[in-house]
């Protein structure tokens, strides 16, 4: 295929990098040939996993030793480095576990960093450039009750975090500092899901009673638009790539598109009757994807408001969806821990990955400009971030 | 009664002289913290009132300060893992009932004091039985106006005296239910009888547990209690005693639980509550005590929530999703009241002592759903499900 993006066949080889999986030789990962380490006491955890990684038909110890002496044993893990956060030795290309002591409720990316936040009060910033994704910065004590949503703007300079206490913090990702706090001192229920406009000047937020508000971040920090809906809890929100449209998904299944220029509702989209947990505009701004408790991803034409497709295949609630840069693929993460990649052309699922059965709350494509190739990351109830990437090698 | 080490704060002793009423005059010998009798407490109040009258007859203003029971007058002690009252050192911890300004309430308090005084100073044998709050109310319903008023004043008096409601010889009508191999005041609560109301007047000596009982199953709702209170459910065979507080538990239920946990052979308290903010708060009431009754010191550290937990919902949600959806609404969405309550709970002082509960509440909020225990009741073997949960928690 000549497409700049990865082909369907290669997507199937996307490899997840995890710590506790038994060590299986994976040709796609281009692991160097075996080097035997004689320092098991330095690497107790990994050594133990090697000892436990026996073939399915269990061989006797002497047989295994014979094979090892003959150079036919399982290869040792050599792709190791130190975790920059805690100093422990870990496998390369994975984050030391667990990244957060509780669930990770939200992740966001910009060209340089992946940002994660969850039930603890810190926000962590991970590097995307380096293959082992070290922890770059940790914002401590940001929201005392925990963080439930994160957003970055398309250009990548800013991030916003929404906490359970109802406050929103705006962060500068170049200087890694707090810019300002908005919606402070308001009654809880004023902010749930958030999204930033491409330039980072505006933020859209849903409320408990279904309104969708647009805030002027760098001006007064006050609402500049306020859209009323039918009063059902606003679960999700997104701003289109040109910043002109805002979409919201609600607890009762309602999906609405608002026009920021006119300040009026653009479309009320029918079709979903269960909670909509994620809405996302395609990069070109032509399509809107909405997904949630009905286990399908519905695609709508933004101009006409027609439903143009359904992606069905998940067997549990979908918490998060993300469009690839070109709009060719959609990534979705579900409550049962499954992450699926969908082709928007054929409307079929082209890859499914499962780490475990813990819910996934956030999935995101890694921006192409990050320079590490195509890939995506997931995070959820197990408190870990998993990076998936295009298989290297052939 | 259990004497926790921080029952008497040293600061109690320093400030009492500057205060109008020597309610908290410390015992003469601190090491055995002997409580002042109720009669002495009452007489102290009356004496100070008459002294005030005698000394300043012109300012005919009389006041009785009662210890207020609010979040500001309590604190969470991580050491004992319970909510405790603050030491009574500051006048702002008291709310005064003043005579000319608030004559009815003032009369209520005096009447209550006289009833209590008469009860406690009676020398008849055998000792008079416990007073119920209802009985006290019927002494003078026109004066007291509402039962609620009496309940409030009696608990405030207990808090002021730093005694428990039981020390005042007062009890409320029973609300909690008990079932299992347990004898209370000679009555048996196991077998096919289906258990019954907890008698209000039990004492540590009058409660006898069967030999094999090692844990307590605490359920939130009466319907669940009724579903399990027979020999068929296997509760008794597993060596469990089941308690039910019917929603937010009353003091009597909590006292019985504390007694079983502290002085009998019970090691674990498995709690079955709804997956909603109220369920968490009910469990917290058992585990950490409550703000209003902090002076009673009924907190059971061993309380452990075994269901309904967020991981129980995962199979439920995935199963119904696979089964063609829409058929049975098993999980409901959170109302705005639920969300408000959940946020309050997240900010509670005891939250850091229960990190797993924090995760549960955050998931509740993030998923936007709640779930009642009854959802599992419809599944084929409810008793087996419950016992499996308890077994996992105990093991």
Question: For chain A, what percent of residues have pLDDT higher than 70?
Answer: 78
Looking at residue A356, which CATH number applies to its domain? 2.130.10.10
Closest CA to A150 of A204, A108, A101: A108
In a domain, A63, yes or no: no
B138 is catalytic: yes
- Answer whether residue B11 shows pLDDT above 50: no
CA distances (Å), origin A298, targets A119, A310, A329, B326: 30, 5, 14, 18
Catalytic residue, chosen from B75, B137, B138, B183, is: B138
In a domain, A19, yes or no: no
For B96, counting Cβ atoms within 10 Å of its Cβ (0-12 exposed, 13-18 middle, 19+ buried), the class is middle
**Alpha helices in chain A, H assignment, sequence order:** 8-11, 44-52, 61-69
ipTM of predicted assembly, 2 dp: 0.75
User: How many residues appear in chain A?
Assistant: 394
In a domain, A105, yes or no: yes
Which pLDDT score is estimated for A80? 80
How many structural domains compose chain A? Answer: 1
Evaluated on CA atoms B182, B188, B191, B195, the torsion sign reads: negative
In a domain, A45, yes or no: no
Q: Which tokens go with A257?
A: 């598109």
Task: Please indicate if any CB of chain A lies within 8 Å of the CB of B333.
Answer: yes
Three-state DSSP string of A151-187: EECCCCCEEEEEECCCCEEEEECCCCEEEEEECCCCC
- Please give the residue range of the domain that contains residue A209: 99-389
* Number of helical H runs and strand E runs in chain A: 3, 30
Q: What is the rounded distance in angstroms from the CA atom of residue B158 to the CA atom of residue B13?
A: 19
In a domain, A201, yes or no: yes
A307-340 pLDDT tens trace:
999 999 888 899 999 999 888 899 999 998 889 9
- Answer whether residue A388 shows pLDDT above 90: no
In a domain, A89, yes or no: no
- Region class of A87: left (phi > 0), else alpha (psi between -120 and 50), else beta: left
Closest CA to B189 of B258, B246, B271, B256: B256
- Provide the shortest C-alpha distance from residue A187 to chain B (in Å): 10
pTM: 0.79
- Region class of A156: left (phi > 0), else alpha (psi between -120 and 50), else beta: left
- Answer whether residue B167 shows pLDDT above 60: yes
A352-361 average pLDDT score? 84
Q: What is the rounded distance in angstroms from the CA atom of residue A119 to the CA atom of residue A100?
A: 8
- Answer whether residue A24 shows pLDDT above 50: no
Q: What is the rounded distance in angstroms from the CA atom of residue B190 to the CA atom of residue B188?
A: 6
Query: What domains are there in chain B, each with its CATH number?
Result: 11-171 (no CATH), 177-394 (3.40.1360.10)
Which three-class secondary structure state does DSSP give residue A351? Answer: strand
Task: Please indicate if any CB of chain B lies within 8 Å of the CB of A103.
Answer: yes
Q: What is the rounded distance in angstroms from the CA atom of residue B19 to the CA atom of residue B299?
A: 31
Q: What's phi and psi for B61, nearest 5 deg?
A: -120, 120
A174-193 pLDDT tens trace:
899 998 888 665 666 789 99
Band (pLDDT 50/70/90 cuts) for residue B32 is very low
Half-sphere CA count of B125, side-chain side, radius 13 A: 0
Closest CA to A319 of A351, A355, A290: A290
- Provide the shortest C-alpha distance from residue A30 to chain B (in Å): 37
First and final CA of chain B: distance in angstroms? 31
In a domain, A20, yes or no: no
A71-95 pLDDT tens trace:
887 777 777 877 665 667 777 766 6
- Residue B394 CB contacts under 8 Å (≥ 6 apart), including other chains: B214, B215, B267, B268, B270
B249-299 pLDDT tens trace:
999 999 999 999 988 888 889 999 999 999 999 999 999 998 888 888 899
For B209, counting Cβ atoms within 10 Å of its Cβ (0-12 exposed, 13-18 middle, 19+ buried), the class is buried
Band (pLDDT 50/70/90 cuts) for residue B235 is confident
**What is the rounded average pLDDT for all residues in chain A?**
80
Task: Please indicate if any CB of chain B lies within 8 Å of the CB of A274.
Answer: yes
Q: Do A103 and B366 touch (CB under 8 A)?
A: yes
Q: What is the rounded distance in angstroms from the CA atom of residue A148 to the CA atom of residue A104?
A: 8
Task: Please indicate if any CB of chain A lies within 8 Å of the CB of B349.
Answer: no
Half-sphere CA count of B150, side-chain side, radius 13 A: 25
Question: For residue A293, what is the enclosing H or E element?
Answer: none
In a domain, A351, yes or no: yes
- Region class of A285: left (phi > 0), else alpha (psi between -120 and 50), else beta: left
CB A196 within 8 A of CB A158: yes
Window 287-326 of A: residues touching B by CB (8 A cutoff) are 293-295, 315-317
Band (pLDDT 50/70/90 cuts) for residue A51 is low
> How far does Cα B1 stand from its chain's mean position?
15
For B60, counting Cβ atoms within 10 Å of its Cβ (0-12 exposed, 13-18 middle, 19+ buried), the class is exposed
């Amino acid at each position: 295929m000549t497409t700049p993006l990865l082909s369907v066949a290669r997507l199937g080889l996307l490899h997840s990098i995890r710590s506790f999986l038994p060590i299986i030789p994976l040709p796609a990962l281009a692991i160097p040939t075996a080097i035997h380490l004689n320092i098991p006491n330095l690497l107790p955890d990994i050594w133990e996993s090697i000892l436990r990684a026996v073939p399915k038909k269990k061989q006797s110890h002497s047989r295994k030793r014979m094979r090892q002496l003959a150079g036919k044993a399982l290869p040792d893990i050599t792709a190791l480095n130190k975790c920059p956060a805690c100093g422990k030795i870990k496998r390369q290309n994975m984050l030391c576990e667990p990244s957060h002591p509780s669930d990770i409720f939200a992740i966001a990316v910009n060209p340089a960093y992946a940002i994660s936040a969850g039930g603890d009060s810190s926000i962590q910033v991970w590097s995307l450039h380096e293959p082992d994704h070290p922890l770059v910065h940790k914002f401590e004590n940001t929201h005392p009750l925990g963080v439930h949503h994160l957003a970055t703007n398309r250009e990548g300079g800013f991030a916003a975090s929404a906490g359970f206490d109802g406050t929103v913090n705006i962060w500068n990702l170049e200087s890694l500092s707090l810019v300002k706090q908005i919606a402070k001192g308001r009654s809880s229920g004023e902010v749930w899901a958030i999204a930033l406009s491409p330039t980072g000047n505006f933020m859209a937020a849903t409320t408990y009673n279904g309104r969708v508000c647009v805030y002027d971040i760098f001006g007064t920090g006050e609402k500049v638009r306020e859209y009323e809906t039918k009063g059902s809890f606003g679960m999700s929100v997104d701003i289109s790539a040109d910043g002109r449209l805002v979409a919201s998904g609600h607890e009762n299944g309602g999906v609405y598109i608002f026009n920021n220029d006119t300040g009026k509702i653009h479309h009320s989209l029918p079709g979903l009757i269960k909670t909509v947990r994620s809405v996302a505009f395609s990069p070109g701004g032509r399509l809107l994807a909405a997904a949630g408790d009905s286990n399908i991803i519905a695609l709508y034409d933004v101009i006409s408001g027609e439903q143009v497709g359904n992606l069905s295949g998940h067997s549990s609630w979908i918490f998060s969806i993300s469009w690839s840069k070109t709009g060719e693929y959609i990534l979705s993460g579900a409550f049962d821990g499954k992450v699926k990649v969908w082709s928007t052309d054929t409307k079929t699922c082209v890859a499914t990955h499962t780490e475990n059965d813990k819910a996934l709350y956030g999935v995101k494509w890694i921006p192409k400009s990050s320079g590490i190739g195509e890939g995506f990351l997931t995070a959820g109830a197990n408190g870990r971030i998993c990076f998936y990437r295009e298989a290297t090698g052939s | 009664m259990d004497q926790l080490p921080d029952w008497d704060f040293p600061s109690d002793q320093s400030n009492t002289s500057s205060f109008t009423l020597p309610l908290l005059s410390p015992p003469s010998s601190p090491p055995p913290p002997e409580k002042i009798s109720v009669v002495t407490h009452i007489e102290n109040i009356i004496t100070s009132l008459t002294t005030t009258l005698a000394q300043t007859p012109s300012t005919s203003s009389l006041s009785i300060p009662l210890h207020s029971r609010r979040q500001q007058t309590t604190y969470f002690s991580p050491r004992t893992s319970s909510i405790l009252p603050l030491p009574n050192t500051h006048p702002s911890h008291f709310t005064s009932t003043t005579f000319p300004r608030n004559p009815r309430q003032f009369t209520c308090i005096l009447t209550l004091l006289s009833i209590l005084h008469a009860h406690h100073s009676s020398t008849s044998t055998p000792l008079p039985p416990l007073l119920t709050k209802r009985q006290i109310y019927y002494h003078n319903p026109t004066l007291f106006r509402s039962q609620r008023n009496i309940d409030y004043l009696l608990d405030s008096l207990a808090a002021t005296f730093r005694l428990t409601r039981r020390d005042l010889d007062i009890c409320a009508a029973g609300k909690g239910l008990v079932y299992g191999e347990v004898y209370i005041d000679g009555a048996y609560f196991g077998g096919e009888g289906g258990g019954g109301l907890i008698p209000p007047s039990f004492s540590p000596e009058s409660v006898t547990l069967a030999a094999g009982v090692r844990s307590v199953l605490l359920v939130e709702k009466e319907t669940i209690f009724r579903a399990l209170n027979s020999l068929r459910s296997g509760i008794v065979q597993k060596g469990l005693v089941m308690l039910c507080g019917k929603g937010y538990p009353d003091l009597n239920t909590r006292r019985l639980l504390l007694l079983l946990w502290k002085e009998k052979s019970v090691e674990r308290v498995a709690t079955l509550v709804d997956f909603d903010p109220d369920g968490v708060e009910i469990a917290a009431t058992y585990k950490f005590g409550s703000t209003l009754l902090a002076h009673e010191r009924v907190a059971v550290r061993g309380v452990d929530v075994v269901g309904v937990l967020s991981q129980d919902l995962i199979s439920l949600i995935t199963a119904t999703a696979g089964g063609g959806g829409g058929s049975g609404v098993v999980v409901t969405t959170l109302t705005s009241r639920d969300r408000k309550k959940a946020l309050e709970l997240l900010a509670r002082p005891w939250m850091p002592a229960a990190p797993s509960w924090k995760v549960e509440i955050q998931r509740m909020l993030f998923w936007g759903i709640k779930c009642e225990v009854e959802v599992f009741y419809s599944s084929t073997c409810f008793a087996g499900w419950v016992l499996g949960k308890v077994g996992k928690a105990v093991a």
